[in-house]
Amino acid sequence: MAEWRTDGCGGRREPERVESVTGALLVTPADLATVLARVESAGRAQFPDSFAGLEVNQAEVLGIVYRVPSPDFDAFLRAEGAAVCLEVRDAAYDLRTLLTLQERIVADLGHWRTAGIEIGVVGCRHDGTGVEVSTRQVAQAQDQLPRRYGPEVPIFVRDEAPPRPLIGS
């Protein structure tokens, strides 16, 4: 996987912390959070064929941007990362492609329930590797979902019960 860092990564920053009841917690510095919000907004609106997702490494004080390589988006990231550290990594799929598959699976939840596969959560992996589905019927889902949606975008099936809402007492 190819990756590169922006000029804002030139110096080491100490992680920011806040005190809590359980001890000090790492937090995302305001300047990095602001840049990441701009990157996500522009990625979704201006670079939908490239942007895949974000990750924050609070210990190293950097944002990780996953994208399908694009000269225009890369230029945008270099400019945005001039004062903060952005690590840019290749992604196999852009977010729009992943969301399209996610929406198809969600639209078919009734079909899967009828087929005996109870799907609890469907989500795009932030690193652009595919779509993740949680169910207790792992073997059936691993077999049936690719048959219905094709092999183009990987579907990762996780063994997990559907979420249950908390009921107040």
pLDDT greater than 60 at residue 1: no
Residue 102 and residue 146 in contact, taking contact as beta carbons nearer than 8 Å = no
| Mean pLDDT score across all residues of the chain | 95
Query: What's the pTM value of the predicted model, to 2 decimals?
Result: 0.90
pLDDT greater than 90 at residue 71: yes
Please state, for a pLDDT cut of 90, what percent of the chain lies above it: 86
Which residue, among 61, 62, 40, has the nearest Cα to 50 in the 3D structure? 40
Q: Residue 108 and residue 62: Cα distance in Å, rounded?
A: 38
Q: N- to C-terminal Cα distance for the chain?
A: 49
**Helix or strand holding residue 3 (H, E):** strand 3-5
| pLDDT for 135 | 97
Q: Domain map of the chain by residue range? A: 3-90, 95-159
| pLDDT for 161 | 83
pLDDT greater than 80 at residue 55: yes
CB atoms within 10 A of CB 147: 8
